[in-house]
Amino acid sequence: MKRFTLSWAAIVLVFALVLAGCGTSNEAANAGGSANAQASGGETEKAAAGNATDDDAAKPSGEKAKVNIAINGGLNPLIIAQEKGWLDEAFGKLNAEISWSKFTSGPPLLESLVAGRVDLSFLGDGAAITGVSNKLPFRVVGLITEGERLNTVLVPAASEIAKIEDLKGKTVGLAKGTTSHVYLIKVLTAHGLKQEDVKLINLQFDDAQAAFEAGKLDAWVSIDPYVSMNAAQKKAKALDAGIAVQAPVSMIAHTDFAKNHPEIVVEYLKQYKQALDWQYANLDEAVAIYEKLTKIPAPILKQVLENSQTGLSAYTQKALDAQQASADILLENKFLKQPTTFKDAVDDSFVNEALQ
């Protein structure tokens, strides 16, 4: 079974899961690609992805189906399922084998999905909405979290910045096109500001951590475990957003793969839920697994997992409303090029069957 040793960059999201790639060096170089990068050449790439999936479906029944699973961030139950071998065992019974990849955020993951190299994964709200708006080939097949505590605006511990309004004219780091980007736009809007009122620096999480520590950022919009780690080390303080911001994280499946292999999508969701339940029931052992892979101190990992709101369900109306509100705000800010109805991309049939 193929395993990955997770760097700080690979720790990021289920929480985030916005987010924010490691699959190949080219994908990592394009990590900030967001909507325009994903849309360019989209029709050609979608056709190629569709042909690849159709060819796979046409294989002789005795040949194993290849399932491309992408880990978007870390500290998520897929890591547990991978380490325990549960997915390999379950998929083996369905005559399928797994090819794993990993990404630090959604935008580069979407590029790989369009190229036909991702069948199953999850996305934060920024990448999910961008993908739906650009009509990329995936269906939303489940809800992981409504994400109310997912994002945080951090400033250096000694900073004079005390409230969101103080960000005007300041340099803010984040991964563009991710859940953190959407969060910042929402928070700025709630306080009478626009994203043009701050200087945005597009940085993936590892790079943002280095820039933050070097004093090159006035603020950083981030997620756990970075938030908990910097707070524990007294390197940062969090700004009060003043509003509750939902940032739903979505399970996704490549459109053609879901059509051709619905039973594998259902089994994937079942195994995710099994791993999640095991993680909550065996927290110390789960922490030990993550500590071995990430080198993050166990107390920080335990705090992150205890604060997690991760689950698995059909899409709630609250989450649908949050996604639509985000889509509308992104359109107003010219991050999206056309109106988007998020609920049209949601298919709860897979998760409903998996949770029976």
Angstrom distance (rounded) from CA 145 to CA 308: 9
In a domain, 1, yes or no: no
Same domain, 183 and 290: no
Token output for 333: 């800010």
Q: What is the pTM of this model?
A: 0.79
Residues 155 and 82 occupy one common structural domain = no
Clarify whether residues 139 and 157 are in a common domain.
Answer: no
- Highest average pLDDT, of 15-19, 230-234, 249-253, comes from 249-253
Question: In angstroms, what CA-CA distances link 7 with 22, 73, 74, 356?
Answer: 10, 10, 9, 36
DSSP string, 102-168: EESSHHHHHHHHHTT--SEEEE-HHHHHHHHHTT-SEEEEEEEE--TTSEEEEEETT-S--SGGGGT
- Domain assignment of residue 202, given as a range: 151-238
Give me the phi and psi of 53, to 5 degrees please: -70, -40
pLDDT tens track for 76-100: 899 999 999 999 999 999 999 999 9
Cα dihedral 304, 126, 211, 230 in deg (nearest 10): -20
- 49-58, 106-115, 184-193, 306-315: lowest mean pLDDT where? 49-58
Pairwise CA distance, residues 108 & 112, whole Å: 6
pLDDT of residue 61: 54
Q: What is the mean pLDDT of the chain?
A: 85
Structure tokens given for 165: 């309004």
Q: Are residues 254 and 110 in the same domain?
A: yes
Nearest to 308 by CA among 40, 17, 2, 9: 17
Whether residue 62 sits in one domain with residue 194: no
Domain membership flag for residue 2:
no
* pLDDT tens digits, 335-356: 899 999 999 999 999 999 999 9
Distances (CA, A) of 325 to 160, 225, 281: 32, 27, 35
Q: What is the pLDDT of residues 61-73, one digit of tens each?
A: 578 999 999 998 7
